[in-house]
Amino acid sequence: MTDSQASTIEGPAWHRVGPFDDAPDGTLHRVEVEGRAVCVGRVEGAWVAFDDTCTHEECPLSDGELDGRVIVCPCHGSEFDLRTGDVLTPPALDPLPIYDARVVDGALEVRLSPPPAAAEAVHEREDHVPEAVARSATVAGPSLEGLALDDIDLTDLDVWERRVPYDWLTLLRREAPLHWQPERDGRGFWVFTRYDDIVAVSKDFETYSSEVGGTSLQDLTPEEVEARKSMIDTDPPAHTRMRALVNKGFTPRVVNTYEERIRGIARGILAQAFRQDAFDWVEAVASEIPMWVFSEIMGLPVEDRRLIIELGDKILGNTDPEVVGEEYVVERALHDPELRKLPFSSPFSLDLIEYGRRLGEARRREPRDDITTRLVQAEVDGSQLGEHEFGLFFILLTTAGNETTRHTISLGLLDLLEHPDEAARLVADPSLAATAADEILRRAHPVHHFRRTATRDTTVHGRRIRAGDKVTMWYAAGNYDEEKFADPFRLDVGRTPNRHLTFGLGGPHFCLGAHLAKLEVKIWLEEMVPYLERIELAGAPTRLRSNFFNGIKRLPVRVRA
Ligand code: HEM
Ligand code: FES
């Protein structure tokens, strides 16, 4: 019987792909089977076979890393379980095809059908909430009564300073899935609010570029974008190289090694704060945990953390005069040609870049056991991060990582205090901390939106986007899309599945620190359990004046005896 006859009667044929007999664990090889790129890997003394093409953006997994029975993609860090093909860590959404492998007479053979565990796996993929479930929501969304599309102005910071306008975002999602938002001081921008559209825009970097105009709403010249850009403002292939370098510092495996240290930090900070009868949650806890963790993993002296927090606040609070000072508020800074060339148009960014540059230089000279050392030593195709490149990356890390996690911890506490039943559920069953962390991240969406620029004309929802137009994706809206999340306005600490958009799901820029941030929030929740029923609000929160960050500046709390 020939191979092809075997295919029809007994399933796909076995193909000899090599001897590879004395390969050590962790070995990966790319082979071809029936014209398909397949990766074979050595795990615990046996061979496994799976599609070589990552289901996220087609990177070759044979260039990735094996971590036990998990394959980690080299491009954006997606992780797949090699027993079932399940996605363990996004940005990939679709499972990985797993193939049968065996050794016959010392030769490795593969066939293009799944082994039993993969064939039986039920892949959890949340695609759509059935209409009946959508109708049975227990928490009503915001009232849209009397609200018209013309009332919406997403650039009105007075509104964002008071509240997140979920009513506007809901109306847009329902009635104007692609909406044009004019700007007083700009060219205007397109607004995407539906979950699937946000994922599609994130994915399609060829049509929606991060590099052409950068990722913030400001209208900058190409020279200005070029002068200030870091990895987040690049497109593949430049982005792919840079991302592969820095991924090495933030894989779940690397981050998990810090778990106990993060726990110690969270425990110490909470114990210290709860010695007082009343305190500002942001200052005492929410800003401290991420910054201590960042200092620990990057190897910064902890005494510097207040300086870094202060600089980060000024850089990111650039639309809030109370934070940055009238003089440096971004509308004014944008009139200064020199400031326009700096990250966030902020003079304070120079201090952070310089701090990062010096740190990188020190670790190059004297390596230590920290992520900075991993980053400066990382090599892809023989190239490493340059000195200035590391400085710019450092500012991206400090700004992207600290404020966002801080606001999650503040908004998360607020959410739990406003929903005592869900807080009690978590206290009764702390094993819910992992799902609670994702739910808090979904509802906090510390970053409301990111921007892209259209590189070509395209038509979506019957409207014409022209090349050069600014396009925005509003995670704050997509995370409440009733077609994707059952009962979206309900806080459900046990919600699963929960593929929220908080980290920018779908595209190549999926948050590098997603695993770290999630781990910090989960550990904070676990360590918070003994305190949760003793804490109450002592005043209204003060919100950041921003339509980019969902930020809390102050959150007064009281401790009950
Ligand atoms: C709750 C906390 C966090 C939130 C909400 C968040 C959100 C995001 C989002 C939405 C993006 C996508 C940007 C885009 O598509 O243009 C992103 C990218 C990024 N984040 Fe985070 N982030 C968080 C924590 C962190 C942490 C802890 C770090 C690092 C220590 C980090 C580092 C980065 C970096 C470097 C990028 C750029 C990735 C790239 O361009 O490939 N983030 N983040
Ligand atoms: S291509 Fe694999 S994670 Fe993006």
Parallel, antiparallel, or unpaired: how do β-strands 70-72 and 65-67 relate? antiparallel
Mutate to test the pocket of ligand 2, among 53, 56, 80 (most ligand atoms within 8 A of CB): 56
**Percent share of the chain, pLDDT over 70:** 96
Distance CA 187, CA 337 (A): 19
- Count of Cβ atoms closer than 10 Å to residue 26 Cβ: 12
Q: In what order do the strands lie in the sheet with 278-280?
A: 278-280, 556-559, 535-537
Give 125's pLDDT tier (boundaries 50, 70, 90): low
Dihedral over Cα of 434, 439, 442, 446: its sign: negative
AA letter at 481: D
State the maximum Cα–Cα separation within the chain, in Å, rounded to a whole number. 82
Distance 48 CA to ligand 1 centre (A): 33
Are the C-beta atoms of 249 and 363 separated by less than 8 Å?
Answer: no
pLDDT tens column, 506-530: 899 999 999 999 999 999 999 999 9
Looking at all shown ligands, the one closest to residue 55's CA atom is 2
Q: CB within 8 A of 406, min separation 6: which ones?
A: 282, 286, 287, 289, 290, 291
Q: Is domain 162-219+231-559 in CATH 1.10.510.10, yes or no?
A: no
Residue that wins the pLDDT comparison between 174 and 124: 174
Distance CA 49, CA 553 (A): 50
CATH 2.102.10.10 domain residues, the chain: 3-120
Distance CA 561, CA 556 (A): 17
AA letter at 525: L
Helices (H), 87-156: 116-120, 131-135
Rg (CA), the chain: 24
Mutate to test the pocket of ligand 2, among 50, 73, 515 (most ligand atoms within 8 A of CB): 73
Distance 502 CA to ligand 1 centre (A): 9
According to DSSP, residue 328 is labeled G
Measured from the CA of 54, which atom of ligand 2 is nearest? 2
In 54-158, at which residue ranges do the beta strands (DSSP E only) sit? 65-67, 70-72, 79-81, 87-89, 98-104, 107-111
Measured from the CA of 74, which atom of ligand 2 is nearest? 2
Residue entry with tokens 């059908």: 113
Parallel, antiparallel, or unpaired: how do β-strands 189-192 and 470-474 relate? parallel
What mean pLDDT do residues 31-57 have?
A: 95
Distance CA 511, CA 396 (A): 11
Looking at all shown ligands, the one closest to residue 247's CA atom is 1
Q: CB within 8 A of 134, min separation 6: which ones?
A: 482, 483, 486
3-state helix, strand, coil in the chain (%, to 5): 45, 15, 40
DSSP string of 191-252?
Answer: EE-SHHHHHHHHH-TTTEESSSS-SSSS---HHHHHHH--GGG--TTHHHHHHHHHHHHH-H
Question: What is each CA distance from 338 to 233, 311, 350, 355, in whole angstroms?
Answer: 19, 19, 12, 20
Pick among 1.10.260.40, 1.10.287.3510, 3.30.450.40, 2.102.10.10: CATH of 3-120: 2.102.10.10
Q: What is the pLDDT of residue 305?
A: 86
Distance 183 CA to ligand 2 centre (A): 35
Q: What is the pLDDT of residue 3?
A: 41
Distance 215 CA to ligand 2 centre (A): 21
Are the C-beta atoms of 505 and 57 separated by less than 8 Å?
Answer: no
Distance CA 67, CA 80 (A): 10
Residue closest by Cα to atom 4 of ligand 2? 76
Measured from the CA of 77, which atom of ligand 2 is nearest? 3
Q: Residue 374: is its pLDDT beyond 70? A: yes
Dihedral over Cα of 228, 233, 239, 242: its sign: positive
Q: Residue 7: is its pLDDT beyond 50? A: no
pLDDT tens column, 346-370: 999 999 999 999 999 999 999 998 8
Residue closest by Cα to atom 1 of ligand 1? 405
Q: Residue 96: is its pLDDT beyond 80? A: yes
pLDDT tens column, 168-201: 999 999 999 999 999 998 999 999 999 999 999 9
DSSP string of 392-458?
Answer: HHHHHHHIIIIIHHHHHHHHHHHHHHH-HHHHHHHHH-GGGHHHHHHHHHHHH-SB-EEEEEESS-E
Distance 195 CA to ligand 1 centre (A): 18
Q: What is the pLDDT of residue 271?
A: 98
Backbone angles phi, psi at 490, to 5 degrees: -95, 135
> Closest by alpha carbon to 243, among 522, 533, 510, 523?
510
Distance 85 CA to ligand 2 centre (A): 14
Mutate to test the pocket of ligand 1, among 512, 516, 546, 548 (most ligand atoms within 8 A of CB): 512
380: left (phi over 0), alpha (psi -120 to 50) or beta: beta
Q: Residue 6: is its pLDDT beyond 60? A: no
Coil, strand or helix at 51:
strand
pLDDT tens column, 415-447: 999 999 999 999 999 999 999 999 999 999 999
Coil, strand or helix at 26:
coil
> Closest by alpha carbon to 549, among 355, 270, 285, 344?
344
Q: What is the pLDDT of residue 10?
A: 61
Distance 54 CA to ligand 2 centre (A): 6
Q: Residues with Cβ within 6 A of ligand 2?
A: 54, 56-57, 59, 73, 75-78, 91-92
Give 132's pLDDT tier (boundaries 50, 70, 90): low
User: Is the ipTM, as predicted for this complex, more than 0.85?
Assistant: yes
Measured from the CA of 242, which atom of ligand 1 is nearest? 41
Residue closest by Cα to atom 1 of ligand 2? 57
Q: What is the pLDDT of residue 22?
A: 76
CATH 1.10.630.10 domain residues, the chain: 162-219+231-559
Q: Residue 4: is its pLDDT beyond 60? A: no
Helices (H), 236-320: 238-250, 252-256, 259-273, 281, 288-298, 305-316
> Does the beta carbon of 517 lie inside 6 Å of ligand 1?
yes
* Both tokens assigned to 298: 């990057």
Counting Cβ atoms within 10 Å, is residue 200 exposed (0-12), middle (13-18) or buried (19+)? middle
Give 75's pLDDT tier (boundaries 50, 70, 90): confident
